[in-house]
Structure 1
Amino acid sequence: MVVASLPSWSQGAKSIRITEVMTDNQNSIVDEYGAHKSWVELSNTSFTTYNVRGMFLTTDRRVLDKNMSPEERRKLMCPLPNNEPRTTLAGKKSMVIFDRYFWQDSKDCDDCPKGIDKIRILAEGTGPLQLQLNLCPTKKSAAPFHKKDNWIALYDGNAVDLIDSVSVPWLQEDQSYALSNDFKTWKICNIEDATPGYLPQPNGLSKPQLLKKQDPHGFGIAILSMGIVFSCLALLFIFFWAFGAYMKHKQRIAKATEKHATLLYKTGKKTIEVTSELSHKTNVMLKDGLKT
């Protein structure tokens, strides 16, 4: 039973992909503390739910050494948190992981080495989805770390199986490197085309992505929601007003019918009384005439 479950488990891990990376975040999404940091998007490309807890992210190419033991490789990796509900990815859903490092302009630093445009700083505030990934925003800032580009890899929980990896070219501010809709090629996106937290769709942008792009501040959806609510209230007002008018009209008809019936009853009663009186007098006259 355990052996039979291994292929499906492995297939589920392979469905997790790195789908978008932003290395120089100045105006894109913010973390829990309102800070703009580099981020990586992981997506579940299958239709089944999969938990990525215990998997590893790394930007250190030394882990590619096949002779390295899993214990040594884990020291160069960042594990995804275990007790975090957001690591449970439903089918076709994504999550964003922030780099805990942020970069300060070297112009604002008096003791910074020359030839470097940005200085790496470890943020004090952190969260469960913030890892020390060390994504470099520029080629100059990567020089002290001997990086030719930003390479990031996703490893399975055993620290042996490479699930996915991507080499990110040097990007400008607020540009992202995103997986295309075909899930094969990559493209550079400007900030208005970046979609953190949303999986690329084979037929273009999904409905949430289109809504986010067309209505970034939510004014349209707010007006639409208020319009629907007020329209429903107006329909309810018209319905109850018409129902009330109908009931009033029905009451007027009932009262008029009751008055008419009472009038007919009184008229009929009076006619019967007069007829009875005439009949009585006629009988009396006939009796008196016969006697006479």
Structure 2
Amino acid sequence: MKLTGMSRNSLLASTAITIGIGLPLQALAQTSEGTVGLEEIVVTAQKREQSLQDVPIAVTAVTQENLQANRIFTVNDLSAVAPGVTVKPSAGGISTPSFTIRGQTSFGVVAGSDKQVSIYVDGVYIGSPRGSIFQLPDIQRLEVLRGPQGTLFGRNATAGAISVTTRDPTGDARVKLEGSYGNYDAYRLRATVETPQFGPFSAYFSYVRDYRRGEIRNAAEGTLWDRSNSPSGFGVKRSPRWLGTVDSNSYFAAVKFEPSDSFKLVYKYDRNDDKGTP
């Protein structure tokens, strides 16, 4: 087998086991007459559900199926599917992104500082970009809005906005396990559990473990840094052996209470423990 056009040699193998009920959403839908048509994409870029074709905004809508097909695991990988958008880790840390949309770069890393790109998760504004390079295993839809969005998203959206909508429980019982491995001791594990409907209650849980050893050997390996007096309160830290390491554990839980068609209450919890190195 001959591999060309790759910046680095890598070998990746993955397996997936799915147990449960349900059919995956397809980009192409088969009608009863046997014809094939495109599935309508619904977005909430203007604070209400609309067809993507009816929204007068430059918006890129990415579904969970698109993310999996393009192996997009974090916000840092959005450049692959959103034109005019670049996301890179900034000097604020490996989990602090620097967004560039249409040539305007957002550098603000302090909560309350003015930024050019705003981030919303389930309609809640993320005031600081620290920790914004989180895993994206459980989203329903991700929308990238290019251009000024101050009318709908406030003052910190002169370059654009990123809106993340996480998924709700469906009530369909399912257990799914996925795993992949590659070079530099890389491996990725994902486990999801969805409970059946128990009266008005349903729940969804997931866990993601992501690791990849860094490629750069640290010349200052073992150096001690005393950060006890810093606002971050990290204490004394030892310089790692490898730089550029990915090491994170992500947790997500959603519980839905829906006693009737006119009332729905959803509680969601997510956490990302990132121990990677710059």
Q: What TM-score, normalized to structure 1?
A: 0.21
Question: For the pair shown, which has the larger CA radius of gyration, 1 or 2?
Answer: 1
Q: Which has the higher helix share?
A: 1
Q: Which has the higher strand share?
A: 2
Q: What TM-score, normalized to structure 2?
A: 0.22
